[in-house]
Amino acid sequence: MNQHTQLWTDLGLDVPLHEKLVDSLGARYGEIIMSQKNRPRGMGYFDEAVHESHGGRIQEIVDAKRQGAKMIGTFCIYVPDELILAANAIPVALCGGTAFSIPYAEKMFPRDICPLVKSTLGLAFSKTCPFAPIKDMAVGETTCDAKKKTWDILSQRVNFHVIEIPQKKTEQGKSLWLQEVRAFRDRIEKLTGNTIEYGVLKDKIRLMNRKRLLLKQLNELRMLPEPPISGKDALVVMQVALFDEPERFCTKLEVLIHELQERVKNNVSPFTPGAARFLVAGSPSVMGNWKVHHIVETSGGAVVCDESCTGTRYFEHLVDEGGGTVDEQIEALAERYFSIDCSCFTPNTERIDHIVELVKNYHVDAVVQYILQYCHTYNIEAVRVSGALKKAGIPSIVIETDYGEEDEGQLRTRIEALLESVKG
């Protein structure tokens, strides 16, 4: 019996099915992540965090709830974690990255929607998501049509709040977004019964800025000629960032960065010298999904940058800490989150230019535009991204895939061909 079996039973999970899920993810993690050679010792914490994401982390949140805290489930990096933390609540990203749960979503939802939505819903519907029964509210957003209509259905079942994301970065859009952030503050305060105070919010803004700066520092090490960490391990760190306790996460990330700096001094890298450098751009790779990075890095390439919600979009841009009132702090929060360059915006020249800038800063040889199936905004925007990369002289491919393993051979062939084109 697993040490957390009683916890899962008490939460009402389908324990036998959940254990199959855990075994499936564990096997995949072992095959893809743990099998890497020459990993930093500091990755041990993040391996354990993944291992305990359905166990120890759940117990922590259950214990915190007994002390009066609330848990808020989120599905997007547009949700301001600072406001949740300042109201004595715990933000946790609920996005699913496994194909295991998708059949359970397809019993109710159309097959032709994105795998991230189906995986997330399937975990909840199959009673294999331990976060589902302990959340006090879920927060969705309007970044795509599949999500918007899904929220309509979920809001009939659970306590749900939808944040509207403007589609244009105009002054009107900015004003609407500020209203949405204020409304979210009001909803969080009503849920928790706690008024968000200036000093507490200031502390949480500083905490999340510290987290962003550390992730930026980690990623700057990937700019070096011989990166001290693999793209797969860097992705694991980003995935853990979405659900771990932030203070502890920062402390452990500092330890890892220190070790990576020592590896740089000693010329230690997981990559073969001269390995082609890849940027993966587009859809996020949430926990359970390491597919594209694995194919690139087992084909001889090195993923040195992630332009996604599990990459640069998560940690770039800081919140101005100079606000003198709660209202000014909320304006600063709105300003920072509005700077995220999601493909839901039109026009989105900001993102196109940013990708070209990342290519230069990370000394990228080739770009893989990774699009989750039916993610129309990233898929169509890929046309403009490809054009900008061609103009910059950077070879690239667009791959559209899901969480299944069936197309891995085909993807490997295409990525190996891209790799050969880089070698010339």
Q: What is the pLDDT of residues 207-239, one digit of tens each?
A: 999 999 999 999 999 999 999 999 999 999 999
Q: What is the pLDDT of residues 88-101, one digit of tens each?
A: 999 999 988 999 99
Burial label, 56 (beta-carbon count in 10 A; 0-12, 13-18, 19+): middle
As a whole number, the mean pLDDT across the chain is 96
By C-alpha distance, which of 341, 200, 222 is closest to 282? 341
Beta strands of 271-345 (E only): which ranges? 277-282, 302-307
Q: What is the pLDDT of residues 358-374, one digit of tens each?
A: 999 999 999 999 999 99
The percentage of the chain sitting over the pLDDT mark of 90, rounded to a whole number, equals 96
**CA dist 401 → 42, 79, 249, 265 (Å):** 31, 26, 31, 38
**Which alpha helices (DSSP H) does 168-320 contain, by range?**
171-192, 198-221, 231-241, 246-265, 291-297, 312-315
Phi-psi region of 346 (alpha: psi -120 to 50; beta: other; left: phi over 0): beta
Averaged pLDDT, 319-347: 97
- Residue 423's pLDDT is 77
- Residue 2's pLDDT is 77
User: What is the crossing angle of helices 43-51 and 231-241, to 10°?
Assistant: 50
Beta strands of 309-409 (E only): which ranges? 366-372, 396-401
**CA dist 226 → 40, 254, 381 (Å):** 14, 20, 31
Dist CA 272 CA 356 (whole Å): 25
* Furthest C-alpha separation in the chain: 62
Any residues with CB less than 8 A from the CB of 16 and at least 6 apart, and which?
none
Averaged pLDDT, 273-277: 96
424 has pLDDT over 80: no
Q: Which of 44-58, 115-129, 261-275, 373-387 comes out lowest in average pLDDT? A: 115-129
Q: What is the pLDDT of residues 144-192, one digit of tens each?
A: 999 999 999 889 989 999 999 999 999 999 999 999 999 999 999 999 9
Structural contact between residues 307 and 282, judged by C-beta atoms closer than 8 angstroms: yes
Q: Cα-Cα-Cα-Cα dihedral of 66, 72, 73, 76, to 10°? A: -150
Query: Which H/E stretch holds residue 152?
Result: helix 145-154
Q: How confident is the model at residue 115 (pLDDT cuts 50, 70, 90)?
A: very high
- Residue 236's pLDDT is 98
- Residue 87's pLDDT is 98
Amino acid at 344: C
Dist CA 311 CA 32 (whole Å): 19
- Residue 1's pLDDT is 59
> What are the strands of the beta sheet with 89-93, ordered from one edge?
89-93, 70-74, 137-141, 160-163
**CA dist 421 → 135, 250, 415 (Å):** 48, 39, 10
**CA dist 118 → 105, 152, 292, 369, 389 (Å):** 5, 15, 19, 21, 32
Residue 264 has φ and ψ, to the nearest 5°, of -65, -45
